Amino acid sequence: MPLPSTEALQAALSTVDDPEIKKPITELGMVESVDVSDEGHVRVGVLLTVPGCPLKDRITRDVTAAVSAVEGVTGVDVQLGVMSDEQRGNLREQLRGGAAEREIPFARPDSLTTVYAVASGKGGVGKSTVTVNLAAALAEEGLRVGVVDADIYGFSVPRMLGVTQPPTQVDDMILPPVAEPSGVKVISIGMFVPGNQPVVWRGPMLHRAVQQFLADVYWGDLDVLLLDLPPGTGDIAITVAQLLPGSELIVVTTPQQAAAEVAERAGAISMQTHQRLVGVIENMSWLELPDGSRQELFGSGGGRAVAESLSRSIGAEVPLLGQVPLDIALREGGDQGRPVVLDAPDSPAATALRGVARQLARRGRGLAGRKLGITPTVNR
């Protein structure tokens, strides 16, 4: 049997993506060496971005599997090393694409990422649950999705997405963990706080935390970025509007009048921050009973009332994007880190949430105000 060629081995390695960066390890400069013995045994030297990389075992498995599939390979030995400071610097510069450090890529005029800030007037309406399920459902639609858990005091997104690994830091760049199987990238202050320790911060520190999540985290090329905002209209809501002036608001409420009145305030902030209101999602709309009837435990009409009130206030249509029923599968999915849209896609709540995600996915990436790289010419 002929020995495997260098070209064939490199081609196989180019199919292996770094699990965090989602780019081929060959493109990232992580393949240090490839040696083949006379018996067809291949030894691959792989450079990790940092010592103790949490996904080194997965990289080893993926490299082994890819190289083993090459004709003529009789065995694979993966030797792990660590990038030098210079190599990490080159990688960081490559990932930033020449952009200035501390720059928020989503605030650039040429950014094609749609940014949704998910807000609520008060806590307990299921805003985080809606956010993580929309993220997973949008990823199912084929979009590249990221989530910022901007609810600094009440962080819960990592648990709901089933993310347990910490972020990897390459010098001053943070690589966000990826939720499986959705592929959603996520960052949260909960990943930096030991145990269940509370975060006791005031305005400037909250602003800095959100800024770091947006500027220091390598998100790659995202189609959609979702921010799970804390309830109300406080510091972080203002910070997001300042840092991401092109972000759009989605308001989550429940049916009862008391919650709807508060939700209107969360949406009305868009008139001061000049953010576009995408629509309203009503959560906990009803409980479907075994006989097919519905029991409206929290009343009815709150979501539509909020949408109609905000439409009058801003002078433009604010649609009711969907109504999500009470569903045990939705609660269990959040507790177990398995979004219901993936774990029980035919359940009532999942069906409603996937319907909202499809509406958001159809909106696509806008080109208004974007640089198209076209130079006009004059025909004489």
User: What pLDDT, in 10s, does the model give residues 321-356?
Assistant: 999 999 999 999 999 999 999 999 999 999 999 999
pLDDT at 368 over 60: no
pLDDT value of position 217: 93
Give percent of the chain with pLDDT exceeding 70.
Answer: 92
pLDDT at 99 over 70: no
Tell me what pLDDT residue 379 has. Answer: 57
pLDDT top residue among 270 and 133: 133
State residue 369's pLDDT score.
Answer: 41
> Per-residue pLDDT averaged across 27-39, rounded?
92
The structure tokens 């989530």 sit at: 147
Average predicted confidence (pLDDT) for the chain: 88
End-to-end Cα, the chain, rounded Å: 65
- What's residue 364's pLDDT? 58
Residues 6+ apart with CB under 8 A from 98: none
Task: Name which of 41-50, 165-174, 249-258, 336-345 the model is least confident about.
Answer: 165-174
Residue with tokens 């309203």: 280
Of 74 and 153, which is predicted with more confidence? 74
Give the mean pLDDT of 91-107.
Answer: 77
> What integer pLDDT is reported at residue 53 of this predicted model?
78
Average pLDDT over residues 16-25: 90
Which pTM does this prediction carry? Answer: 0.79
Q: Which is it for strands 31-36 and 41-48: parallel, antiparallel or unpaired? A: antiparallel
**Mean of the pLDDT values across residues 244-273?**
86
- Span of 126-130, 257-261, 334-338, 345-349 with lowest mean pLDDT: 257-261
At 318, phi and psi to the nearest 5? -115, 105
For the stretch 288-329, pLDDT in tens is: 888 889 999 998 999 999 999 999 988 889 999 999 999 999
* Eight-class DSSP state of 366: -
pLDDT at residue number 244? 94
**Hunting for tokens 């928020």 — which residue is that?**
104
Q: Is residue 378 predicted with pLDDT exceeding 50?
A: yes
Task: List CB contacts of 41: < 8 A, sequence separation 6 or more.
Answer: 73, 74, 75, 76, 77
Residue 247 in contact with residue 275, Cβ under 8 Å?
Answer: yes
